[in-house]
Copies of this chain bind each other. A is one copy, B any other.
Amino acid sequence: MNILFLLEAVSLNERLAEGTTALIAGMGTVFIILILISSIISLFKYIGKSDRPHNRSDIKLKAFIEAGRKVEPVHTQDDLELIAVITTVIASSLNITTDQLQVKSFRRIRSKN
């Protein structure tokens, strides 16, 4: 919101000064902010150790708004192997190669869900 410089810098000298200031101020800010984030992130590796993927409380507090809605399938890496197996089974029964066919439609039911 603040107006630092004159917006109509006329002479070339003015323009060079303007450009240099912005270059230093800008690259300075970019590096300061990104190094700051980087430093904090590099501390993450210590907290990351003991973490298990998302432990849920026993009492499942399901959203009011989700009532009666089904979760859409999201293929995880694990699922992809199973898809490969199923694809092969179906393909072999149809005498076609697997690269012509892709199963996209099942999902594992997570026991917790």
Contact = CB atoms under 8 A, between A and B. Distances in A.
A105 interface: yes
Interface in A48-62: none
Number of copies: 3
Given A89-B94, A93-B89, A73 B104 contact: yes
Interface in A67-101: 73, 82, 85-86, 89-90, 93-94, 96, 99-101
A106 B105 contact: yes
Find the residue from A99, A103, A106 having the highest chain B CB count within 10 A: A106
A15 interface: no
Interface in A2-35: none
Given A86-B90, A89-B94, A106 B104 contact: yes
